Chain A
Amino acid sequence: MLGITAVAVILATAGCGGPLADGGKPARESAAGHRPRVVATTTVVADLVRQVAGDRAEVDCLMAAGIDPHSYKATPRDAERLLDADLVVASGLHLEGRLATLLERLADRVAVLTVADRLPADRILEAAGGIPDPHVWFDAGLWSLLPMKVATALGEIDPAGAETYAARAEVYSARLREADAEARRRLAAIPAGRRVLVTAHDAFRYFGRAYGIEVVGVQGTSTASEAGLGDINRLVELVVSRGIPAVFVETSVADRNVAAIIEGAAARGHVVRLGGRLYSDSLGPPQSDGGTLEAALATNVETIVAALSDAEAAR
């Protein structure tokens, strides 16, 4: 029996080349010539790279839409994708948990760009305890600094396309700045006293800083640890005492904490609505109302504005 097993292992190992080459993704030297392969860790970063690269590069996203990056665990195929990449783009600031530390080591062999590290240090927020807060993307103004960095990294692996990338980056940055202004304008419509965003975890502090909204999360910046009863009580107290009309859940995070807060507030006679589902650590599937960062930002803003400025709900 063991002999058979050993043979099976050898055969299976030898056979690796076959199923992989035609399995799922095209091999590197296929159809569209020598398109560089870029692997992005999160959907947010993948969107950034796609916007800059357009069709010139093949962009592969490690984490599917709706997956929480904090609790993502790699599979052998993911590891293979990372190794096969010409460029790996990560978000950084420990968003990807243990993957991040390993990506640093991967940098010896594959070009790795950690986007959040390229932002000006003075604009990085600190979470409790002094570690940096990784959720930088929903500050569109801040995010607009990044397309150029991506273009540079792409240009290094694909010098022929450097100009194309730079041009696209320029355009995209401009769009992001526009989206930034638009978001600011729309959110300004919310009455000042109601500008409090309560979510499952602390993913919106950059957003809050950029657009003048106070942000409170049930859990800290990482979803990895469990929320305590003290956290829930604190938020219920806050929601009730401030008369906050709506709280929000996130597409990639379990929503039980938020449900508990709504109920806790209701028990104190304060009706707080579920304001809606926000895109936070993960964008939506392509073509959805959160398929790109711009779309997700607009959708989030729309959801927040609708929920917080709704006079009925505030009663």
Chain B
Amino acid sequence: MNPGQQPLVEFHDVTVAYGRRPVLWNIDLAIAEPCLFGVIGPNGAGKSTLLKAALGLVPVVGGFVRFCGRPRRQVQGRVGYVPQRETVDWDFPVNVMDVVLMGTYGRLGWLRWPGRRERAVAAECLERVGLADLADRQIGRLSGGQQQRVFLARALAQEADIYLLDEPMAGVDVRSQEQIFGVLAALRDAGRLVIVVHHDLRTAAEWFDQVALIDRRLVAAGPTAEVLTADNIQKTYAGGIELLEQLGQAVAERGRTE
């Protein structure tokens, strides 16, 4: 899939602002090979924003994101996405199978409905996340962990090469966490790149092959063991934030009172 030896994902000097106020500064990051990649940082560090910027959900004010050297629009079908669980209304009248089938919509395009093949794919994805027997259940009647796994199954049904997951382990019971991790590891083993936004440092060390430490700016990135040093963690969780915070404020202010 990667003839030109381009990195699978490349963030080139990406700055993201909400309104006028920058929240993510100059992220420069390239991931060359399939692996389990953790994006780690404190609350409000801009981890989710990073994923959203990659997916074009929030505008990038500086720099660019490339997938295999190409802009996102050209590789749409090859990027799978698992948003945070709270972003949707779980009372929505769809069942588990309906949600997983949504993963196949991208390939189907306009005017075509999921057919036998798509149903088979969806069923298999549900099998992989251990929810095969709940296919007909309304999504509101699932536990948090099960809901998260439905989202994962939907991303699997996208049959993508790169997966972006936003806090898949948040508010999820340990059993579900392990199951999700198992699925992700299997994806990695099958040659996919899996990028996971994660806030828990302890589990990060054992799960991820590579990590990036982020707190409004990229503190460090690389193989887990090299990056997760006491010094880097200190820098991520204590240093620099305040200044960036103030700078963000200053930029927003000057823009307004010019």
Direct contact of A and B (CB under 8 A): no
